[in-house]
Structure formats: C-alpha cells, structure tokens
Structure 1
Amino acid sequence: MKIEIVALRISPGHNYKGRHGAPPESHPLLTLPEIECVAGRGIRGDRYFNHAPDFKGQITFITVETLAEVQGILKLPSLDFGAARRNVLTRGVDLNSLIGATFELGGVTFEGVEECKPCYWMNAAIAPGAEKQLRGRGGLRAKILGDGVLKTGWADLRVIQTAVRPAA
C-alpha cells in the first residue's frame, strides 16, 4: 500500500522530557528531506539516538489526519504539525493497526511497539485540551530493525508480520 511521508523531523535535544515543574527547553525541531535510520539505535542526529538498549521509541510516527482533526476540535486557526514532536508525519495509514506488527516503510524495517501516548506537555506544545484529544491516537512508537534512509514523499508500506493479539 502507498502512503505519504509528509515530513521528517529530528531534534538534537529534549525540550520536555525530565522538565516536570520547569519550563521547556528550546532545542530546535529540524525538518529534513530524509533521515538515516540505524537498526537498534534510532535516527542519526536525533535526541533518542543510542538512548538505551532495546528502546521502544527509536522512531515515532503521527498522522496528518489526526493532527488536523485535533486542530478542528480545538478550534485552532493554525497548527504547526511539528508541535507533537514526532519524527515521521504520515498520511493515509492507521498507525494503531501497526502496534505489534513488523512492517517495512520506504525500504526500512520497523517493529510497531506501542501507542506514543500523549503527555500533559501537549497542552503547552499544541494547545489546552490537546493531551485529551490525542489519547488513543497519539502516534506510534517503533523500533528500527533494519538500516536505511526514509525520504519524504510517497512510499510503500508493507506489513511483514501482523500483530499477534491475545484471544479474548
């Protein structure tokens, strides 16, 4: 299936992590035409590169559709889609369907680990009420299983192994 990689972003530092009770930092969010994904390590140049062994958030995804809906619900005149601080902004895919799945996007292999749950900082980064509106659709945290380069534009998404769901 073809999906669109709308934007690719990295940040060299943490603006919100570990900042409870303090103002956010001001590390820039860099928008790039391509990013280098390194298996088991993350995105070269990103704040989470080499963060920890087996780290679940080596790369993060969110959809344009979700952010546009949040913009409408919160009645925001505009929304910088980078405010969510996810690495990959996509169009045309249900990211929750990739939780627990192994998939390939643009020739790079990933394991969808879990929802990228929104935190209270979303209320500051986007607008009051954003955390609540993003619950259950805050994006996807994934591990990088194979080295490669992701580029903006249309890309093939192929599910290699579907999520194993426990029997009810």
Structure 2
Amino acid sequence: MTAVEIVALHASRVHAFEGRPSDGPRPDPEPVGRSVVEVRAGKGIVGDRFFNHPAHRKGLVTVIAAESLDAIGVTASPLLTRRNIALRGFPIDTLAARRGTPGSLFSLDSGAGPIRFQAHRPASPCVWMDVVLGQGACRGLRGHGGVRCVPLDDGELRVGPAELEVLSPTLL
C-alpha cells in the first residue's frame, strides 16, 4: 500500500485535441476538473468522452504521475494533459504493459473503497502537449505520459489523499 495524493480528476464529454495543433484546442463547454468522479467497471468515468466507447476498451481511464510534469518544469494544471487521474506519490508509468509483458493490476482508494484497474499500454504524449504545456513537453513526457487502464470495479474517486496498491503484475 502506498500513500498517494489525487491532485486532479478530469472528465470531459468532448475531444479538445482534434484538428491541427496550430489551431489550438477546442474549448470545453463545461469545466473538466472534478472534485469527485464516478467510475464504472468496464466502462470508465461517467461523463467522460471515452465512457463506454468501443474503440477505447483498453484505455477507458488514463492516469499520469504529477511528478512527470514536475520533472520537465511544467507548472500548469495537470488537467491540461487531459489525463483522467493525476496523482502524486507513485511512478504510475511502471505499471504499463511493455513489449510482451502484461500491465499491472492495481487499486486506488480515496476513501470510498478500493477500485481495481487493469493497466494496459502507456498513454503516449502527442504534439498537443507542446501546445498546451509548452515547447518540449511532448519529448519530455515520452515514457512518462501515464498509463491507459480499464476499471474493474464501480466506485468513486475524490481529489485528495488516497492509497494505491499494486495487486498483481499480471493480467487477470
């Protein structure tokens, strides 16, 4: 069990990073930062653009370590990465599947009970990161852009103190 802090939760119904980066991101019709999100097993975060989206079955929820942003000098909100969960206190990228190895099974508990997640592939950064976070962010986040996951339980996550537990380094 590792004590972590959930520093940001993101849920947006729209894709802001479509089209050409030089045109800038589309504005969200509603605030994307949340203090609480509902997680549904096999579906993702209620209200998010990838919720129950067939094309994203193995990447319904994305998690990034806030330390990855600190390491490249980003002081902007982690919400700009459009990752669903930004946490501090654990190297989340180590849980991703790598060349023939499965991703880890882990749980997050922010007080309402643990929610298990199956980690899959890394959430690779794109050129949009240079637009919203600053020049060099895309390159700086390579290998540290977070991990794409599938929730295995229903539950609720809140911004604030939480516990992360790595349950298994293999798929269920």
* 1:104 and 2:107 correspond: yes
Q: What runs of 5+ residues in structure 1 fail to find an aligned partner?
A: 73-77
Aligned ranges for residues 28-47 of structure 1 at < 5 Å? 28-47=30-49
Q: What runs of 5+ residues in structure 2 fail to find an aligned partner?
A: 97-102
Contact 1:121 1:131 in 2 (8 A): yes
Over 3 Å counting, the alpha-carbon distance change for 1:53 and 1:144 in structure 2 is: farther
Aligned ranges for residues 1-168 of structure 1 at < 5 Å? 1-17=2-18, 19-20=19-20, 23=23, 24-27=25-28, 28-52=30-54, 55-71=57-73, 78-99=75-96, 100-106=103-109, 107-163=114-170
Q: Which digits, 9 at most, give the CA deviation of each residue in 1:32-83, with x for residues without a partner?
A: 11100111111000111121166122111111211112126xxxxx422221
TM-score, normalization by structure 1: 0.86
TM-score, normalization by structure 2: 0.84
Q: By how many angstroms is 1:90 displaced?
A: 0.4
Moved over 2 A (4+): 20-24
The letter for the 2-side match of 1:95 is I
Aligned residues: 158
The percentage of aligned residue pairs carrying the same residue is 35
When the two chains are superposed, the root-mean-square deviation of aligned CA atoms in Å is 1.9
Q: By how many angstroms is 1:21 displaced?
A: 6.8
Over 3 Å counting, the alpha-carbon distance change for 1:129 and 1:21 in structure 2 is: closer
Contact 1:40 1:53 in 2 (8 A): no
Q: Which digits, 9 at most, give the CA deviation of each residue in 1:77-103, with x for residues without a partner?
A: x42222111111101101122120111
Over 3 Å counting, the alpha-carbon distance change for 1:9 and 1:129 in structure 2 is: same
Matches of 1:123 and 1:21 in 2, distance apart? 9
Q: Which digits, 9 at most, give the CA deviation of each residue in 1:82-140, with x for residues without a partner?
A: 21111111011011221201111111110011111001111111111110000000111
SS of the residue corresponding to residue 130 of structure 2 reads: helix
SS of the residue corresponding to residue 65 of structure 1 reads: helix
